[in-house]
């Protein structure tokens, strides 16, 4: 266990006293599972490839083979990953009734695999791919099976149309129902704990502001600057697993 710092103690105190806490997570929570984030200088996924050329909805529509050449590798990588202790601690917070749920920008489904139940996936999930023509849904395991068989572009078995991952691509709007759920959680929260997110991508980046505007407070567990640093009640800047482990220790102390 990591020794709890005064800041970790403060996060534990906020969670213990909260009546409607919520967690918001970004790519940083999945980095310990071996999934690279998007924007870390020199290491982020978009440092190596222009997302507008491989992960835009227009690319999928115009050239699905090009799209899947990129996304196929990403699917295979994400499909093999397992939750790390950060995901497990967040699930434990929900199991203890300390948080109402998790709003996540991640598509890797690791929160659900770790045991979190009320998960709002505002960018969708790799759990399913969908046929744009007939609506057939294909599970991620079947899609990965097709990719590993050398299919290239996985197609709907009913109408031979290229499948689209059920995730939000560049150029697409976020799903209305998920965003409605996210804004409801944020507006009702007396504490939001934002973990592993730069809080720069809108509209999700507006959620901490929603909590603050409604009288709640904000705790940050993330490395690097965010637009909300000056507004946060407390910020933990170390390794995400170590910091959450310290918070859990403080709660158990």
Catalytic residue IDs = 123
Please state, in angstroms and rounded to a whole number, the distance separating the CA atoms of residues 245 and 248.
5
Nearest to 102 by CA among 192, 210, 229: 192
| Contact criterion met (CB below 8 Å) for 129 and 140 | yes
- Do strands 234-236 and 119-121 pair parallel, antiparallel, or not at all (unpaired)? unpaired
Q: Can you tell me whether residue 155 is helix, strand or coil? A: strand
Which residues are CB-contacts of 25 (< 8 A; sequence separation ≥ 6)?
Answer: 90, 102, 103, 104, 105, 106, 111, 194, 195, 196, 197
Residue pointed to by tokens 């995730």: 167
- 210/191 Cα distance (integer angstroms): 11
């Amino acid at each position: 266990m990591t020794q709890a710092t005064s800041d970790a103690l403060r996060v534990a105190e906020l969670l213990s006293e909260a009546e409607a806490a919520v967690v918001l997570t970004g790519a940083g929570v999945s980095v310990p599972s071996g999934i690279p984030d998007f924007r870390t200088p020199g290491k982020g996924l978009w440092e190596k490839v222009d997302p507008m050329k491989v992960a835009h909805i227009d690319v999928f529509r115009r050239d699905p083979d090009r799209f899947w050449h990129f996304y196929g590798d990403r699917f295979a990588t994400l499909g093999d990953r397992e939750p790390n202790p950060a995901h497990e601690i967040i699930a434990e917070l929900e199991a203890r009734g300390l948080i109402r749920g998790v709003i996540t920008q991640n598509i890797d489904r690791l929160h659900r695999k770790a045991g979190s139940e009320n998960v709002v996936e505002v960018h969708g999930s790799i759990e399913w791919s969908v046929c744009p023509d007939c609506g057939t849904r294909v599970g991620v395991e079947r899609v990965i099976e097709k990719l590993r068989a050398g299919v290239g572009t996985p197609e709907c078995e009913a109408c031979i149309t290229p499948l689209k991952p059920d995730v939000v691509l560049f150029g697409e709007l976020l799903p209305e129902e998920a965003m409605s759920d996210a804004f409801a959680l944020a507006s009702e929260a007396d504490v939001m704990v934002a973990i592993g997110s730069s809080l720069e991508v809108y509209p999700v980046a507006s959620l901490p502001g929603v909590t603050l505007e409604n009288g709640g407070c904000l705790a940050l567990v993330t490395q690097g600057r965010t637009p909300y640093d000056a507004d946060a009640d407390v910020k933990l800047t170390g390794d995400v697993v170590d910091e959450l482990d310290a918070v859990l220790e403080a709660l158990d102390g």
